[in-house]
Amino acid sequence: MACNRANYLERTINSVFKYQGSVASKYPLFVSQDGSNPQVKSKALSYDKLTYMQHLDFEPVHADNPGELTAYYKIARHYKWALDNLFYKHNFSRVIILEDDMEIAPDFFDYFEAAADLLDKDKSIMAVSSWNDNGQKQFVHDPYVLYRSDFFPGLGWMLTRTTWDELSPKWPKAYWDDWLRLKENHKGRQFIRPEVCRTYNFGEHGSSLGQFFQQYLAPIKLNDVPVDWKSRDLSYLIKDNYEKYFAEIVKKATPVHGENVVLKAHDIEGDVRIEYKDQSHFEIIARQFGIFNEWKDGIPRTAYKGVVVFRYQTPRRIFLVGPDSLRQLGIKDP
Structural domain that includes position 190: 6-231
Task: Say whether pTM exceeds 0.75.
Answer: yes
Q: Are residues 224 and 314 in the same domain?
A: no
Do 118 and 172 fall into the same domain? yes
- Do 217 and 152 form a contact (C-beta atoms < 8 A)? no
227 plus 174 within the same structural domain: yes
Contact of 1 with 40, CB cutoff 8 Å? no
Domain match, 216 and 290 both: no
Based on the fold, state whether residues 182 and 310 are members of the same structural domain. Answer: no
Q: Is 177 considered catalytic here?
A: yes
pLDDT for 217: 86
Please indicate, yes or no, whether residues 82 and 54 belong to a single structural domain of this protein: yes
Cα separation, 144 vs 9, in Å, equals: 29
Percent of the chain with pLDDT over 70: 97
* pLDDT of 210 higher than 60: no
In this structure, is residue 226 part of a structural domain?
A: yes
94 plus 115 within the same structural domain: yes
Query: Among residues 178, 209, 231, which one ends one of the domains?
Result: 231
Active-site residue identified among 177, 224, 240, 271: 177
- Look up the CATH number of the domain holding residue 259: 3.10.180.20
Asked whether residue 246 is assigned to any structural domain, the reply reads yes
Same domain, 211 and 250: no
pLDDT tens sequence across 62-81: 999 998 999 999 999 999 99
Whether 1 maps to a domain, the answer reads no
CATH number of the domain enclosing 214: 3.90.550.10
Contacts (Cβ under 8 Å, ≥6 apart) of 260: none
- Domain C-terminal end among 195, 214, 231: 231
- How many Cβ atoms from other residues are within 10 Å of residue 265's Cβ? 20
Same domain, 190 and 165: yes
Alpha-carbon distance of 200 to 229, in angstroms, equals 20
Is residue 213 pLDDT above 70, yes or no? no
Question: Are 184 and 73 found together in one domain?
Answer: yes
Count of domains observed in the chain: 2
Confidence at residue 5, expressed as pLDDT on a 0 to 100 scale? 96
For residue 222, what is the DSSP state?
B
- Mean pLDDT computed over 27-31: 97
Same domain, 124 and 244: no
Among the candidates 186, 212, 231, a domain finishes at 231
Do residues 209 and 179 both lie within one domain? yes
Query: Do the bridges between strand 157-160 and strand 125-129 make them parallel or antiparallel, or are there none, so unpaired?
Result: antiparallel
pLDDT category of residue 205 using cuts at 50, 70 and 90: confident
Q: Which helix (H) or strand (E) holds 127?
A: strand 125-129
Asked, for residue 334, whether it belongs to a domain, the answer is no
